[in-house]
Amino acid sequence: DFTMVEMMKTKTCYLLWAMFGLGTMGGLLVIGLAKDIGVELANLDTDVATNSVTMIALFNAAGRLGWGAISDRFDRIKVIAIMAFITSGCMVMMSIVSLNHITFFVFLAGIAACFGGTISVFPTVIGEFFGIKNLGANYGVVFQAYGLAALVGPVIVANAGSLQETFVFSAIVALIAGILALFVKKPLKQIVLDNYTELELKERV
């Protein structure tokens, strides 16, 4: 079990921190702008566009459950990478496709589901990589990236020339998050502990 200080001395900590911030930034941006996107780009009336808030909440919750279940069966870092790539793909499509009622809700649903999934899976990754004894403190450090993303997002929107530019930026940061996941490795200390536990279990059997 890593203490917070021990965790912060590892390269893995900062890779996960960057992944979390970049992987959620695009979702925060687009989800916050959902109504405006619906009205301005998909030509939806205000009432219909407002319904996107409810849809986001539903797919956010579904993503937490669905991606959480998937991550229990497959490598969690790879699952996070897949969610980042899906988010990036949806952002790209929103920047180049002429949005209508269907495409607007489909792409937004994909982003919301992956956003919820990322929030759901990350605490488990921190526990898996650094142990559960100090999980609260360790996850708190990594979660700061989410807070920073929430602060930086509005600044990006304010300086973007258009919603399409916001989509492109969001696609890029999500893509970077997915690429970073390819370089994340469990800290050596935890690998040794995992191998020891596995050997001990085999000896008991």
**In contact, 138 and 130? CB cutoff 8 Å:** yes
**What fold is seen in the domain 4-204?**
Growth Hormone; Chain: A; (1.20.1250)
Residue 27 has pLDDT above 90, yes or no: no
Q: Given this model, what pLDDT does residue 192 score?
A: 46
**pLDDT tens for each residue of 47-85:** 777 777 788 888 889 999 999 999 889 889 999 999 999
Q: Which tokens is 204 given?
A: 């008991």
Contacts (Cβ under 8 Å, ≥6 apart) of 101: 42, 44, 48
Distance CA 68, CA 80 (A): 10
**Tens digit of each residue's pLDDT (9 = 90 or more) over 148-200:** 988 887 787 777 777 788 888 889 999 999 999 988 888 876 554 545 455 44
State the CB neighbour count (10 A cutoff) for residue 195: 10
Q: What percent of the chain has pLDDT over 90?
A: 35
Contact 20, 122 (CB under 8 A): yes
Tens digits of residue pLDDT in 94-140: 888 888 888 888 898 999 999 999 999 999 999 999 888 888 899 99
Average pLDDT value for the chain = 84
Domain extents for the chain? Answer: 4-204
Stated pTM of the model: 0.83
